[in-house]
């Protein structure tokens, strides 16, 4: 038990260090002035011209007329604007849990959404259109022709509601508009329902608009505020009223549309894309390695603790260790991530940054698998060695630490290395909460370049290089540790 207590204290110390000094990784990074008042904005930055990524002066920035409105609100409040980029269907949970102060993402104030959050006055109206491949333009003259068709919509949006009202329609609901367009380009859906202002950014020689137009009235956009936060709601409405009276919103829409129209050339090859956006991928590599390294460190500690619990003589401790392994291995990592990132904040008010939530998720998930790896290694050591050490006066903890564990570690090193490689790849799931890893940056590059394949081929190559180098290093370490066995 002394060994378990010692590792427990190490784990607690590392967690405290992480939660106090670890950088907070989000779409815009950390803010420099910790003493200033902050206004945290939640958005899904793939909805041009509302909000989208754009390289300006060599730096990735989130721009759009929604962002311009948010800046005006922050200025009126005397606050520093902090932007959190995430999936559209994660905006409401983030707002409800207090992770963000408001949501601006071209969101329509439906009655269903009003049950969970408050909305400001509307600030913009748009109409819905049907995007299709130009080759199919004559196939959909009316909405009736879309019946029984495969249609792409954004998950949790008003467009999804429209699609659900089309008889027999087979909907594909995705988080990102760019992914929906990619589905259309690759013939996986035959049409997509989007707003007219958003569709303008994707129209080209391949993608166009159908004559069919949804019968719904113009969709209104409003700002989401956490329920009961009347002070912020009144401030937001005051800013919107001022912007409307000064006719600034229409000016912001025009400026954002012009910025959106300045697209990156689509004919760039994969090497040109990589070279132009190498800084994006470099940032992603840094956070991916940080996530993986800390995930393995904490995972090893957790795995060793759980392993010792499973091998303990006390039945209740064995039951705790077994329950941990079965629960963690029996549930998807994405579910665990959602519970840690959103669930704890909603239920207990415990809020973790994307980086912290990612490290915790990877650690507890990896710990369950490493526990079984360690258990196999320990049980593979001849039990007579432990008994011999005890007969020489060594305590159980000392015998485990100096006799059993070194041999077990050497035996299971290949399996530990394989787990490290797996964590590097599985860390990509953290991008769904706005963690700036390799996959998140690949999505950003995709949205900027309007290319569906090259950014992800680059990401795949980077993952391969990382895992290949790691495998070679671990193989070298394994051969070095095994040199004494061949003498």
Residues 156, 183 share a domain: yes
Whether 31 maps to a domain, the answer reads no
Dist CA 97 CA 99 (whole Å): 6
Whether 32 maps to a domain, the answer reads no
Residue 246: what pLDDT?
93
Whether 268 maps to a domain, the answer reads no
The domain that holds 287 is classified in CATH as: 1.10.3720.10
Whether 33 maps to a domain, the answer reads no
Residue 217: what pLDDT?
60
Residues 277, 168 share a domain: no
Q: What is the dihedral of CA 352, 355, 361, 367, to 10 degrees?
A: -120
Whether 30 maps to a domain, the answer reads no
Please name the residue that has the structure tokens 């969970």.
116
Residues 186, 73 share a domain: no
Residues 304, 202 share a domain: no
Residue 10: what pLDDT?
53
Phi-psi region of 137 (alpha: psi -120 to 50; beta: other; left: phi over 0): alpha
Residues 157, 114 share a domain: no
pLDDT tens string, the chain, 487 residues long: the values are 444 445 445 554 554 444 444 444 344 333 334 446 899 999 988 888 899 888 887 788 899 999 999 999 999 999 999 999 888 888 998 999 888 999 999 898 988 899 999 999 999 988 899 999 999 989 999 999 999 999 999 888 888 989 999 999 999 998 888 889 889 988 999 999 998 888 887 888 889 999 998 876 677 899 999 998 999 999 999 999 999 999 999 899 888 888 876 655 556 788 888 988 888 899 999 999 999 889 888 998 999 899 889 988 889 999 999 999 999 999 999 999 999 988 888 888 888 888 889 999 999 999 999 999 888 887 777 777 767 777 777 776 677 777 777 777 777 777 888 888 888 888 888 888 878 889 988 888 887 777 778 899 999 999 999 999 988 888 787 777 666 555 4
Residue 483: what pLDDT?
60
The domain that holds 228 is classified in CATH as: 3.40.190.10
Give the total number of structural domains in the chain.
3
Burial class (CB in 10 A: 0-12, 13-18, 19+), 391: exposed
Report the side by side order of strands in the sheet with 207-209. Answer: 170-174, 150-154, 191-195, 128-133, 207-209
Residues 428, 330 share a domain: yes
Residues 164, 58 share a domain: no
Residue 40: what pLDDT?
94
Dist CA 364 CA 328 (whole Å): 8
Residues 332, 320 share a domain: yes
Per the structure, the complete domain to which residue 154 belongs is given by 128-217
Residue 19: what pLDDT?
42
Whether 254 maps to a domain, the answer reads yes
Residue 457: what pLDDT?
93
Burial class (CB in 10 A: 0-12, 13-18, 19+), 349: exposed
Residue at a domain's end among 262, 295, 328: 262
Whether 13 maps to a domain, the answer reads yes
Residues 381, 367 share a domain: yes
Phi-psi region of 57 (alpha: psi -120 to 50; beta: other; left: phi over 0): left
Residues 469, 374 share a domain: yes
Q: What angle do CA 137, 139, 143 make, to 5 degrees?
A: 100
Residues 459, 383 share a domain: yes
State the SS3 of the chain: CHHHHHHHHHHHHHHHHHHHHCCCCCCCCCCCCCCCCEEEEEECCEECCCEEEEEECCEEEEECHHHHHHHHHHHHHCCEEEEEECCHHHHHHHHHCCCCCEECCCCCCCHHHHCCEEECCCCEEECEEEEEEHHHHHHCCCHHHHCCCEEEEECCCHHHHHHHCCCCCEEEEECCHHHHHHHHHCCCCCEEEEEHHHHCCCCCCCEEECCCCCCCCCEEECCEEECCCHHHHHHHHHHHHHHHHCCHHHHHHHHHHHHHHCCCCCCCCHHHHHHHCHHHHHHHHHHHHHHHHHHHHHHHHHHHHHHHHHCCCCHHHHHHHHHHHHHHHCCCHHHHHHHHHHHHHHHHCCCCCHHHHHHHHHHHHHHHHHHHHHHHHHHCCCHHHHHHHHHCCCCHHHHHHHHHHHHHHHHHHHHHHHHHHHHHHHHHHHHHHCCCCHHHHHHHHHHHHCCCCHHHHHHHHHHHHHHHHHHHHHHHHHHHHCHHHHC
Residues 343, 251 share a domain: no
Residue 178: what pLDDT?
82
Dist CA 226 CA 242 (whole Å): 22
Whether 202 maps to a domain, the answer reads yes
């Amino acid at each position: 038990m002394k060994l378990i207590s010692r590792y427990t204290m190490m784990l607690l110390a590392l967690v405290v260090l992480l939660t106090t000094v670890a950088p907070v990784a989000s779409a815009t990074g950390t803010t420099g002035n910790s003493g200033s008042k902050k206004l945290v904005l939640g958005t899904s930055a793939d909805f041009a011209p509302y909000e989208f990524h754009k390289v300006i002066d060599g730096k990735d920035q989130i721009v759009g007329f929604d962002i311009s409105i948010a800046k005006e609100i922050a200025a009126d409040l005397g606050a520093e604007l902090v932007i959190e980029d995430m999936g559209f269907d994660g905006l409401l949970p983030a707002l409800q849990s207090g992770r963000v102060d408001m949501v601006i993402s071209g969101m329509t104030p439906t009655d269903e959404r009003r049950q969970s959050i408050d909305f400001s006055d509307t600030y913009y109206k748009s109409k819905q259109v049907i995007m299709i491949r130009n080759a199919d333009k004559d196939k959909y003259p009316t909405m009736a022709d879309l019946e029984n068709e495969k249609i792409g919509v954004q998950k949790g949006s008003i467009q999804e509601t429209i699609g659900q009202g089309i008889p027999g329609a087979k909907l594909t609901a995705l988080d990102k508009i760019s992914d929906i367009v990619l589905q259309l380009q690759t013939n996986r859906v035959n049409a997509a329902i989007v707003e007219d202002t958003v569709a303008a950014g994707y129209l080209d020689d391949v993608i166009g608009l159908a004559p069919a137009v949804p019968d719904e009235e113009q969709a209104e956009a409003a700002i989401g505020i956490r329920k009961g936060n009347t002070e912020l709601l009144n401030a937001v409405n005051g800013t919107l009223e001022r912007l409307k009276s000064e006719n600034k919103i229409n000016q912001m829409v025009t400026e954002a549309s012009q910025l959106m129209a300045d697209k990156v050339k689509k004919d760039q090859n994969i090497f040109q894309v990589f070279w132009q956006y190498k800084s994006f991928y470099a940032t992603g590599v840094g956070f991916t390695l940080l996530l993986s390294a800390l995930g393995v460190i904490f995972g090893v500690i957790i795995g060793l603790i759980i392993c010792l619990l499973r091998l303990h003589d006390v039945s209740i401790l064995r039951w705790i260790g077994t329950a941990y392994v079965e629960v963690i291995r029996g549930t998807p990592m994405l579910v665990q991530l959602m519970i840690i990132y959103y669930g704890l904040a909603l239920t207990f008010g415990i809020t973790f940054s994307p980086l912290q939530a990612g490290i915790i998720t990877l650690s507890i998930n990896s710990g369950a698998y490493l526990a079984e790896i360690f258990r196999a290694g320990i049980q593979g050591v001849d039990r007579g060695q432990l008994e011999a050490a005890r007969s020489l006066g060594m305590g159980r903890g000392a015998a485990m630490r100096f006799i059993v564990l070194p041999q077990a570690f050497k035996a299971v090193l290949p399996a530990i290395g394989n787990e490290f490689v797996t964590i590097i790849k599985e860390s990509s799931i953290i991008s769904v909460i706005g963690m700036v890893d390799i996959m998140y940056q690949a999505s950003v590059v995709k949205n900027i370049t309007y290319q569906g394949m090259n950014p992800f081929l680059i990401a795949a190559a980077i993952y391969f290089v990382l895992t290949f180098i790691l495998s070679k290093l671990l193989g070298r370490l394994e051969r070095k540790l095994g040199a004494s066995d061949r003498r």
